[in-house]
Amino acid sequence: MVEGETFIEVDGVEKVFDVRRKVGFMRRERRTVRAVDSLSFTVPRGEMVGYIGPNGAGKSTTIKMLTGILTPSAGRLRVAGIDPSRERTRLAHRIGVVFGQRTTLWWDLPLIDSYRLMRRMYRIPDRRYEENLARCVELLELGELLDVPVRQLSLGQRMRGDIAAALLHDPEVLYLDEPTIGLDVVSKVKVRGFLRDLNAEKGTTVLLTTHDLTDIEQLCRRVMVIDHGRLMYDGELDGLHQVGGGAVERTLVVDLERELPPLEIEFARVVKVEGARQWLAFPADRSAAPLVAAIAQRCPLVDLSVREPDIEAVIARMYVRDASVPGPRP
């Protein structure tokens, strides 16, 4: 398969769960949940795509079908030409998965022991294992952590350890489910930088699920939005920002040296004031730097932070959008 060729193919895929719920002492009610509904998209080899949506939208279910953990109720699914649920083991050698909220590492063992076990499980040739491990250790700064039991690692360290584990066998595609959840700013920057380099150097196809729009902004040109199991949007991130007729906003929170009336600054508006603290909303596609500079000219700043719009806010806007919004790609 060559670069640019379709690597992931999802065609009219559905996933319906049968759920039984206890409603009385003896009675159980049966109902079905359509977690994924008429889902179709393709991803070419080497692309990094954001896959976003509110809680319960169907993202994890999609990823589980792409890895072969779940079988679709209907439709056709192929990854590298393989039907995941039929040939899960064969596919496992070609994919890597990171679930941010769970670890694939052995909790009580030092990190390096998990890697050694994976080397055996995937039968990774010695040279490839050594090279990939060395690369991950260097770029993800794992050197000091290799002999530490996983349970003693911080969340950010553990996440970097998990990403390395998913890459030791050189997967052609990496599924990332919330890889930066709960990480501090420094760890987020490290993880994003690593993923960007991985994609650029190795051409790894990446499907990234996240609630953090900055992950998407910094890594993906294309974004797919899913809600109630259906694809609501598939296109450039910039297009998503315009959805709903107005750009999504970020918020600059400033602690001023003294209390002031709401600041009046071009392209920003004060949305809240509490003592010397003010919240200024500004378009998400503009830099905060000139805004900070303009405020600092009026009053010295004690502290500041920028809050990103969350995915829910972006999607909420999609429901009030006009008919001109681009729909799913053909």
182 lines the binding site for ligand ATP (CB under 6 A):
no
Q: Kindly list the distances between the CA atom of residue 171 and the CA atoms of 131, 163, 218, in Å, as whole numbers in the listed order.
A: 14, 12, 22
Which of the ranges 50-58, 109-117, 256-264, 287-295 carries the binding residues for ligand ATP, by CB under 6 A? 50-58
Among positions 4, 56, 203, 300, the unique one binding ligand ATP when judged by CB under 6 A: 56
Shorter beta-carbon distance to ligand ATP: residue 41 or 129: 41
114 lines the binding site for ligand ATP (CB under 6 A):
no
Among positions 19, 185, 271, 320, the unique one binding ligand ATP when judged by CB under 6 A: 19
35 lines the binding site for ligand ATP (CB under 6 A):
yes
Q: 100: which residues sit within 8 A by CB, 6+ positions away?
A: 159, 176, 177, 178, 179, 180, 181, 182
Shortest separation between residue 285's beta carbon and ligand ATP, angstroms: 25
Helix (H, G, I), strand (E, B) or coil at 157: helix
210 lines the binding site for ligand ATP (CB under 6 A):
no
Q: Contact 156/187 with Cβ under 8 angstroms?
A: yes
Q: Kindly list the distances between the CA atom of residue 222 and the CA atoms of 7, 38, 99, 163, 173, in Å, as whole numbers in the listed order.
A: 15, 20, 21, 22, 16
Name the amino acid, one letter, at 19. Answer: V
Among positions 1, 4, 5, 17, the unique one binding ligand ATP when judged by CB under 6 A: 17
Which of the ranges 22-30, 55-63, 140-148, 150-158 carries the binding residues for ligand ATP, by CB under 6 A? 55-63
Shortest separation between residue 33's beta carbon and ligand ATP, angstroms: 5
53 lines the binding site for ligand ATP (CB under 6 A):
yes
Backbone φ/ψ region at 275: left (φ over 0), alpha (ψ -120 to 50), beta: left
Name the amino acid, one letter, at 163. Answer: I
Distance between start and end Cα atoms, the chain: 22
50 lines the binding site for ligand ATP (CB under 6 A):
no
134 lines the binding site for ligand ATP (CB under 6 A):
no
Tokens read off for 225: 């939005």
Q: 138: which residues sit within 8 A by CB, 6+ positions away?
A: none
Q: Which residues bind ligand ATP (CB under 6 A)?
A: 17, 19, 33, 35, 53, 55-61
